[in-house]
Amino acid sequence: MLLKKREREGAEINGSSMADIAFLLLIFFLVTTTINVDTGIGMVLPPPLDPEVEPPPIRERNLMNILVNAQGLILMDEQPVSINDVKDKLIEFIDNPNNSEELSISPDAAIVSLKTQRETPYNIYIDMLDEVMSAYKDLRDAASRANYGVEYARLAENSPQQEQIKDMYPKKISIAEPDN
Amino acid sequence: MSQFKKKQAGTKQEVPTSAMPDVVFMLLFFFMVTTVLREVTLKVKLDLTKANNIEKIEEKRLVSYIYMGPERLPGNQLGEDKVQIDDSIVDDIGAIRNIMYDKLIEEPRLIVSLRVDQNSEFGLLTDVQKELQQAGTFRINYSTKRED
């Protein structure tokens, strides 16, 4: 019998360059990845108004009317103010530390109404909204620090503590439709 | 002399590299999965405004974007303010309610992120917001950059 005996070559693929290929791909994806976080001011729109149902009456003292025109001039309850004073005035209105007759009865009754013109640039509107949010943030932080010793943002999400502070200072912001 | 010869350790001096491709592949898959290659082609000019009191949107799956700004015209010109949803410009503002309603059916916890150019007028935004109210997509987010 003629048995051919041959030394078999090992059937291996040379894998030493695999790491290089993987590194190349890795670097490509590293460079192209953008881990961008979306940030912004969160709001909840009210449901559409039913024309047959009368809106509930709101007492004048609980309502803070903020009007902003296209030039960025601000009226708060018929008084012209500069944008730097908006926050302090809002905090005074919402908190009402001296129990003034003109200002909100209690923080959870306070409603901030923001009204602009159709021509108002978007950045002016956002600046105003930012001031309102900043007033609420300060109030919530102060309440949270007084009760729990930490800032509001550091309370656990949806914890009873956070809910309590939220109930103390609910964000009641109404975005009114422009007239013209 | 030879009794002072240093004894060599029996082990090899090399670091085993056979597991390196596995490690690299694992990293590779992580980045492949997290990468979002396709972004929407913007047909409107978008220059976001800045704000201080902003929050992050943690759940990106829930977000649907509406872009508003001056339309980009050929030849580097800017047209009127337009609304863009997904890849196309919506000329009929009244159609937004159906588009957004369909999206809400698909994802009931939808958050609408409004990406508005800082110089566009508030009037267009109100019209869009009115449509969103009709569609029932109440959770919105005014997209802004962080002020620094």
Using H for helix, E for strand and C for coil, what is the string for A63-127? EEEEEECCCCCEEECCEEECHHHHHHHHHHHHHCCCCCCCCCCCHHHCEEEEEECCCCEHHHHHH
Nearest to B123 among A29, A33, A178 (CB): A178
User: What's the structural domain count of chain A?
Assistant: 1
Interchain contact, B120 vs A122, CB within 8 Å? yes
Cβ–Cβ contact A71 with B under 8 A: no
Structural domain includes residue B70: yes
Residue A162: what pLDDT?
Answer: 86
User: What's the structural domain count of chain B?
Assistant: 1
Residue A180: what pLDDT?
Answer: 61
Optimal mutation site among B46, B56, B83, B121, interface A, most CBs of chain A within 10 A: B121
> How far is B59 from B43, CA to CA, in rounded Å?
25
Nearest to B142 among A41, A46, A119 (CB): A41
Which residues on B lie below 8 Å from A15 (Cβ)?
Answer: 21
Helix (H) or strand (E) holding B64: strand B63-73
Structural domain includes residue A3: no
> How far is B122 from A32, CA to CA, in rounded Å?
35
Nearest to B31 among A33, A40, A116 (CB): A33
Structural domain includes residue A101: yes
10 Å CB burial of residue B44 (0-12, 13-18, 19+) is buried
Cβ–Cβ contact A24 with B under 8 A: no
CATH number at residue B77: 3.30.420.270
CATH number at residue A91: 3.30.420.270
Structural domain includes residue A80: yes
Nearest chain A residue to B136, by CA: A47
| Cα R_g (chain A), whole angstroms | 30
Query: What is the mean pLDDT of the segment spanning A64-78?
Result: 86
Domain range enclosing B54: 50-146
A139-157 pLDDT, tens digit per residue, is: 888 888 888 888 888 888 8
| A173 band by pLDDT with thresholds 50, 70 and 90 | confident
Residue A4: what pLDDT?
Answer: 64
DSSP category for residue B85: E
Nearest to B52 among A25, A118, A130 (CB): A130
Structural domain includes residue B134: yes
Nearest chain B residue to A71, by CA: B121
Residue A84: what pLDDT?
Answer: 87
Structural domain includes residue A50: no
More confident residue, A13 or A43: A43
Helix (H) or strand (E) holding A173: strand A173-175
ipTM of the complex: 0.72
Domain range enclosing A97: 60-175
Residue A108: what pLDDT?
Answer: 82
Structural domain includes residue A134: yes
Interchain CB contacts (distance < 8 Å): A and B:
144
DSSP category for residue A26: H
Structural domain includes residue B24: no
Structural domain includes residue A22: no
Residue B105: what pLDDT?
Answer: 92
Interchain contact, A126 vs B27, CB within 8 Å? no
Measured between CA atoms, how close is A59 to chain B, in angstroms?
26
Counting as low any pLDDT under 50, the low residues of chain B are: none
Structural domain includes residue B62: yes
Query: What is the mean pLDDT of the segment spanning A149-170?
Result: 85
Which residues on A lie below 8 Å from B140 (Cβ)?
Answer: 42-45
User: Residue written as tokens 């791909």?
Assistant: A25
Interchain contact, B123 vs A25, CB within 8 Å? no
Q: What is the mean pLDDT of chain A?
A: 83
Structural domain includes residue A103: yes
Structural domain includes residue A4: no
Structural domain includes residue B41: no
> How far is A162 from A144, CA to CA, in rounded Å?
8
Structural domain includes residue B17: no
